[in-house]
């Protein structure tokens, strides 16, 4: 593969939309010191501005309490209180890290949750969020008004106007996040946004925060017909979503249904496999029951860029924020710790840039308890950092994009379309060239040579490269060579960080007749970042 870059190639702004925000686990984790340290590291090194997490209203945050929780005697439930102090500590920690909250208003406090016969109020996750609508929308509005008053008093209205407020998370997924109907979600959104706008009309609120780019047209139609305020559109997209697969565009009127018989058959098959396995670790069993479908099925790369373009059209003049996106929605997938995610995220970040106002990679750290808090340092978590803050390949790849110049060379629409793709940037007195070889599966294929020819009138002083490949930025490999220990001490963590760090190294080049030539051999899902220092 050969790429040629003319000296007269025009430039366009390098839109680092992914620096807008980053995802993380549920709100209670934001009270931890290790979480705050890692968040500050992500802000300081990647330039990410905000963080989004679930569950600010979960009962473990103790936002709505009554006397019956201590003394279960008749009539005690009438003596109640709002208490948003834990929310304040979480947001203080975010601000102390140099970031701002992207406030996801979820999930339902027990005092407000609907108690409907036959309805399971709890979601399927480790911390058991209540995912039902409120019993009384007016009581919910009162609660939201009190929450906003708390925030404004604590931080001031000018600060709160710089935050973003998103109503709920993935209400199209009934087992995980919402046990109401789509219309009930729209009603919840309306009640919420009206309560917030009554507090201050300049506070920014949006939705529908759906999975797989869904419900945007019907959500906006509902808001338009009822004159409901909406300041931005938010939705999510994973390439390897295990819940129903990648959805097509459209109204998305139908509710999601699960094939119960198929699920039971799958469980029976998994049980048979489990019985014959020698490795009885929790992680191995979990991966057997929840396999990495991104490795076993043929998933198309281009779903996210395609759907982002469609949502951009559907949103018309509203800002579009993808508040969750990544290569794989499967928690515990082995490949989450590999450079497969690095290559995908770099390519997707580049190819969606024109259609997104901002976005949020899911997520920044393996300090995360959505399904299970695994002890292994590398357990296939979603994070760019491990539980102890060891950077994974995806972190190093996004660091390359963060360090890239603010001007991107316009190499045409096909530059990132192939298996081997290229992007180039201008920064101060130099040019940067990023090469990647991206595939949706980790395949053991021969390396392929990539040649870059860049017109330069003067011989460059120096060329360096940073690499994410089998031997660079690969702490997983080193951890496996250690014997996959269940826990690490501080010395081991420091050693893994140091040995897997991605540092610039000198790279050979040829320069002749005003043309610089670079060569590299890329394995599957490798990422190379060349920095060319001009004289």
197/161 Cα distance (integer angstroms): 11
Catalytic status, residue 310: no
Q: Which residue carries 């750290």 as its tokens?
A: 365
216, two tokens:
């945007």
Spatial contact of 398 and 19, defined as CB atoms under 8 Å apart: no
130/97 Cα distance (integer angstroms): 29
96/406 Cα distance (integer angstroms): 27
From the candidates 166, 170, 370, 531, give the one annotated as an active-site residue.
170
152 phi, psi to nearest 5 deg: -65, -40
Contacts of 28 (CB under 8 A, 6+ apart): 55, 58, 60, 61, 86, 90, 127
Catalytic status, residue 481: no
CA angle 424, 427, 429 (to 5 degrees): 115
Spatial contact of 416 and 346, defined as CB atoms under 8 Å apart: no
Please, how many CA atoms are within 13 Å of residue 176, restricted to the half-sphere of its CB? Answer: 18
Nearest to 394 by CA among 436, 448, 450, 451: 436
Spatial contact of 142 and 198, defined as CB atoms under 8 Å apart: no
Bridge partner residues of 448 (DSSP): 522
333, two tokens:
């997938």
From the candidates 324, 327, 351, 370, give the one annotated as an active-site residue.
324
Nearest to 511 by CA among 431, 420, 445, 437: 431
| Helix H or strand E segment including 350 | helix 339-351
Q: Are strands 164-167 and 204-210 parallel, antiparallel or unpaired?
A: parallel
The string of DSSP codes covering 175-226 is TTT--S-HHHHHHHHHHHHHHHHHH-TTSEEEEEEESTT-SHHHHHHHHHHT
317, two tokens:
């003049």
Contacts of 305 (CB under 8 A, 6+ apart): 348, 351, 352, 355
455/442 Cα distance (integer angstroms): 34
* Residues recognised as catalytic: 170, 324
């Amino acid at each position: 593969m050969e790429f040629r870059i003319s000296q007269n190639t025009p430039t366009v702004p390098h839109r680092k939309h992914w620096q807008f925000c980053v995802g993380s686990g549920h709100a209670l984790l934001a009270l931890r010191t290790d979480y705050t340290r890692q968040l500050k590291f992500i802000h300081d090194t990647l330039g990410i501005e905000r963080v989004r997490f679930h569950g600010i209203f979960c009962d473990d945050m103790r936002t709505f309490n009554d006397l019956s929780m201590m003394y279960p005697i008749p009539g005690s439930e009438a003596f109640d209180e709002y208490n948003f102090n834990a929310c304040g500590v979480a947001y203080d920690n975010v601000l102390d890290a140099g970031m701002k909250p992207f406030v996801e208003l979820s999930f339902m406090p027990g005092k407000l949750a609907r108690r409907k016969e036959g309805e399971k109020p709890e979601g399927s996750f480790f911390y058991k969020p209540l995912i039902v609508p409120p019993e009384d929308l007016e009581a919910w509005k009162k609660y939201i008004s009190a929450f906003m008053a708390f925030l404004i008093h604590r931080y001031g209205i000018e600060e709160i106007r710089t935050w973003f407020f998103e109503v709920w998370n993935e209400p199209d997924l009934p087992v995980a996040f919402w046990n109401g109907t789509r219309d009930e979600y729209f009603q919840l959104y309306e009640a919420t946004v009206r309560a917030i706008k009554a507090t201050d009309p300049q506070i920014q609120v949006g939705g529908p925060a759906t999975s797989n780019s869904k419900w945007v047209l019907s959500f906006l139609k509902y808001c338009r017909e009822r004159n409901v305020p909406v300041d931005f559109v938010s939705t999510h997209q994973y390439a390897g979503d295990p819940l129903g697969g990648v959805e097509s565009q459209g109204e998305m009127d139908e509710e999601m249904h699960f094939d119960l018989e198929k699920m039971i058959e799958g469980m029976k098959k998994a049980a048979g496999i489990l019985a014959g396995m020698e490795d009885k670790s929790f992680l191995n069993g979990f991966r057997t029951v929840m396999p990495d479908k991104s490795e076993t099925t043929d998933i198309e790369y281009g779903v996210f860029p395609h759907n982002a373009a469609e949502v951009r059209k559907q949103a018309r003049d509203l800002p579009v924020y993808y508040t969750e996106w990544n290569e794989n929605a499967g928690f515990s997938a082995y490949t989450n710790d590999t450079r497969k995610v690095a290559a995908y995220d770099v390519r997707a970040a580049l190819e969606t840039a024109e259609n997104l106002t901002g976005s949020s990679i899911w997520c920044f750290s393996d300090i995360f308890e959505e399904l299970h808090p695994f002890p292994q340092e590398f357990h296939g978590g979603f994070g760019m950092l491990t539980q102890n803050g060891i950077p994974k390949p995806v972190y190093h790849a996004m660091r390359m994009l963060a360090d890239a110049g603010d001007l991107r060379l316009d190499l045409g629409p096909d530059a990132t379309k192939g298996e081997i793709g290229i992007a180039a940037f201008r920064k101060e007195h130099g040019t940067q060239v990023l090469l990647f070889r991206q595939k949706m599966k980790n395949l053991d294929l021969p390396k392929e040579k990539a040649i870059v020819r860049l017109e330069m009138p003067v011989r460059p002083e120096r060329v360096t490269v940073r690499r994410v490949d089998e031997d660079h930025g690969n702490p997983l490999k080193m951890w496996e060579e250690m014997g996959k220990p269940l826990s690490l001490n501080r010395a081991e963590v420091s050693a893994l960080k140091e040995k897997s760090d991605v540092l610039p190294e000198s790279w050979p080049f040829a320069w002749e007749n005003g043309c610089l030539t670079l060569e590299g051999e890329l394995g599957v899902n490798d990422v190379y970042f060349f920095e060319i220092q001009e004289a």
